[in-house]
Structure 1
Amino acid sequence: MTTYLHDGTEFDLDGGFIDVIGIEWTWTGRYTDTGEPLLFGGGSPTPVPLPDVYHDHGPLIPLPKPSPSRLVRAAVSADYTASIRDGHTESYEEYALRTTRAGQ
């Protein structure tokens, strides 16, 4: 993990960021001459120092890390019928009965 501390906030440069209007920013792997990380984003062909992005577009919100493939496989290949039988989920019929009663 490569981090950078700015205004008391630690940024994980290995992950991406999203600003308040939804633009994604990613680290180029390079720094300015003064040691500020350079980010690409917003359609700009020129990298922008993180403090400038933070000031002009912040706050910067870390993008979620991708789910591990082991977890994705477990979720996708789960036995739905067994999960209903074990009480972890409800069938459509049970859902319909529960929500119909709630609306009365």
Structure 2
Amino acid sequence: MPTYTIDGITFDLARTYLDVSGVEWVWSGRWNGAGEPLMKTTSGFLPLPDVYWWHGPLIAVPEPVTGEQIRAVLSADFLASQAAGYVEPLEVWAARALGGAA
């Protein structure tokens, strides 16, 4: 994971960033002569410090949440709710809501 630090802020160059006007910036995989990462957008390339100072603050685009992560969170919440007695067993619900048919 390549990173670059400006003013004490470390940027993960594998991430996509949005500037204040909503333009996306991604690392091109290249460095300029000063050792700065070249960021690209549809209109061209700029070194990351220039993007940061002229177009910042930069906001990392959130990474997508996977189905596995969602299931893990929901399962943990459900199991905790069931253990605390907030969720009734299927049989009890079926008896109450469906007249016993599960």
Query: 5+ unaligned residues in a row in structure 1: which ranges?
Result: 79-84, 88-104
Which residues of 2 match residues 67-86 of structure 1 at below 5 A? 67-71=65-69, 74=71, 86=87
**2:30, 2:2 → 1: CA distance?**
12
Return the TM-score normalized by structure 2: 0.65
> What is the 5 A alignment of 1:13-32?
13-32=13-32
Between the aligned partners of 1:37 and 1:63, the Cα distance in structure 2 is 18
Q: Which residue of 2 aligns with 1:63?
A: 61
TM-score by length of 1: 0.64
The alignment-based identity, stated in percent, is: 46
Please state how far the C-alpha of 1:69 moved relative to its aligned partner: 4.2
CA distance in 2, matches of 1:86, 1:27: 48
- The higher radius of gyration belongs to 2
Deviation above 2 Å: which 4+ runs of structure 1? Answer: none
| SS of corresponding position for 1:15 | coil
Q: How many residues align?
A: 77
- What is the aligned-residue RMSD (CA, Å)? 2.3
